[in-house]
Every structure is written in structure tokens, then in C-alpha cells.
Amino acid sequence: MTQPTNNPAGPPSLTAPPSSEASELPRRTLPAWLLSFLLHTCILVSLVFILSRFSGGASEIENRAGGIVLVNAVATTTEYLSEGDVTEPSPAATQQQSPPPMPSDDLPPDLAGLESSPAELTGVGQDFSEALSGADSLLDGMGSQRPIGGAVTTEVFGVKGTGSQFVYVFDRSASMEGYDGRPLRAAKKALIESLDSLQENHQFQIIFYNHQTKIFRPDGGGEKLAFATEVMKQKGAGFVQSIRGEEGTNHMQAIKKALSFGPDVIFLLTDAEGGFNQRDLFRISEWNRSGTVINAIEFGVGGQSALTNSLRMLSRENGGQYTYKNVLSFRD
């Protein structure tokens, strides 16, 4: 057998080597300017998208109607509620939200000793009172600034009255200037002596009258009861000394004014006996609702008449005393 010989011209190999021309072709890539364009375009699109989201959210917030916003904080979460979301609370919730009980006035045991006692507070007031002992004149004529004291007994021409508030109603008609003015001078002296017997916590008022009334004004303006301080008694004495007798007499107007102060005692002094009729006495009793005691002092010439007079009846019907004084017995 003959061995086959190698055929150099046999069929070509299926895996032919790449040609040198094909391997030498350059690779195709994107230009740098195109890549930059694409990159910037993506960034711009992203920014537009983000801005549109924020813009839309802000507009939604701005378009919402204003109102009260409630915050409901529970544990670690916080919930915001608008007015439309709020409903009426349930009874249970209302009970839970009720205010805490008021604190007790009782002090703890360790602080109980620090509570001020009335005696301590009174002592403070006394200290101030002693420091301002000269300030009584600032309160003259002001009835609400000083407590009214206990009863005291004072007198006018031997007629006594007991109480803490007194009104002196004295006649100043022209007849009181008769006999060289001795009746009016004697009346003034007796009135000032009665004032001197009052203490600072007692009150007084002075009314001189003829057909009109002339009233002591403690503070220069109002008509009121004055406390009998030394300053006010001096002012009262000055008012008394300034009075002069003139013209006629009107008892009723003066007595009505005196009763309007509601005093404990009235001292009425006049030389005009017979000035009260039964109708006048009845009217005075009607005015005297507070039960004021009315004492009457009558000035006359010579001996006292044995007949029952209206001044005696006036004093008797109003719980007071009556006395008669002969002006001829007065000495300066």
C-alpha cells in the first residue's frame, strides 16, 4: 500500500487568521463634547424636577386657609390638627383635663411656725402709729379713718348726755345778744367746755341757727361729724367764737339737720320758748328714727314759769333732760 502523501494544496483551514487590514481599523468612541452635553442635560433635568417638587409643595402650603393649629403630642410622636379636625371632647377626656385641685391653706408642719399671728400684725400697725403720732391732723374730719370710741358723759349747764357722738344746736338769734351779749357768751363758754371733755375717738358737730343754719365744716367743705382731736376741738372753738347773734329763729330746720347726722345726743339751747307746737313735736319724733336723745336748755329772764312748756315736752318725748337758766344770773 502506498501511503498518502501530504497535499500542500488541500482545503483551507476553517479558522483563518485575521487579516492584518481588519486588525488595524480604529475603535469608534463618542466625542467629548457630546458626553459633556448629555451630562449637563441630565443635571438640568434633575434640578428642574426637584424645583418643581418644592414649588408645588410651597404653593400648597400658601393656598391653605389660615386657622388655629392644634398639636397633639403623644409619647414620641407629634400630630398637627387643624380647626376642621377638632371634634368635641368626650366626657372622659374632659374629666382627664380638669384643672388640678386648689392648694390647701394648711402649711406643712415644718413651715407652720412661720405663719404670722394677728398679734404680730397688730404690733406692726402700732409701730407705724407711734412713728406717725403727729399725723392725727391729717385725718381730722374723716370719720372712716378712726374707730369710734366707747361712751363718754358730757354736760351743758348741768344737763348730761352719754354717748360717743354729739351734736350741739345753739340759738344765735338777735335776742341772744341782749343783756350786753351775756346769753350768747355764756352759751359759747359752756359749749367749748363740753367739747374739751371729749376724747379723740368721740365725734361732734356744731350747729348755730337763727332763721338759717350755720354748720361747722371740719375739713372746710363737707358737713360731717368730726373726731374730737385736739386740732379739731381748737377749730371747733374758733368756729364757736366767730358766731354773732342776729335775726329771728327757726328751730325745725336746725333740729332736722342735727338728726340727719344720727348722733347719740343732741344739746339744744335757745331763748325762744313756745317755738314748738304739737305738730312740730310730732314731726321731730318722726325724724328721730335712730332714737337720738334730745336735751333742752332754755334761757329766760327771771323765774321759770310753772306752766308746762314745749321745750320740756320735746326733751321728755325724746328721752332727754330739760333745764332752765336765768340770763340775769350770768357773769362774765
**pLDDT digits 0-9 by tens, 271-291:** 987 678 999 999 999 999 999
Q: Which long-range contacts (CB under 8 A, 24 or more apart) does 233-242 make?
A: 233/195, 233/196, 233/198, 235/140, 236/192, 236/195, 236/204, 236/206, 237/192, 237/195, 239/206, 240/188, 240/191, 240/192, 240/206, 240/208, 241/188
Domain for residue 299, yes or no? Answer: yes
- Per the structure, the count of domains in the chain is 1
DSSP 129-147: HHHTGGGGGGGTT-GGGS-
CA neighbours closer than 13 Å in the CB half-sphere of residue 72:
7
Facing residues of 206 across strands?
Answer: 168
One-letter amino acid for residue 144 of the chain: S
Domain for residue 256, yes or no? Answer: yes
Task: Write out the H or E segment, with its range, that includes residue 240.
Answer: helix 230-241
Q: What is the pLDDT of residue 93?
A: 42
Q: What is the pLDDT of residue 260?
A: 96
CA–CA gap between residue 311 and residue 276 (Å, rounded): 7
Domain for residue 289, yes or no? Answer: yes
Q: Supply the range of the domain harboring residue 267.
A: 143-329
Instruction: Judge whether 149 and 199 are in contact, CB under 8 Å.
Output: yes
In sign, the C-alpha dihedral spanning 320, 321, 324, 327 is negative
The residue among 208, 150, 193, 187 whose CA lies nearest residue 325 is: 187
Alpha-carbon separation of residue 48 from 22, 37, 53, 202, 293 (angstroms): 47, 16, 9, 96, 105
Domain for residue 177, yes or no? Answer: yes
Domain for residue 242, yes or no? Answer: yes
**How many angstroms separate the most distant Cα atoms in the chain?**
211
Domain for residue 247, yes or no? Answer: yes
The DSSP output letter for 74 is E
> Which of the residues in the chain have pLDDT under 70?
1-30, 54-147, 274, 305-308
Nearest 5°: CA angle at 275, between 153 and 286?
A: 65
Domain for residue 76, yes or no? Answer: no
The DSSP output letter for 97 is T
Domain for residue 158, yes or no? Answer: yes
CATH number at residue 157: 3.40.50.410
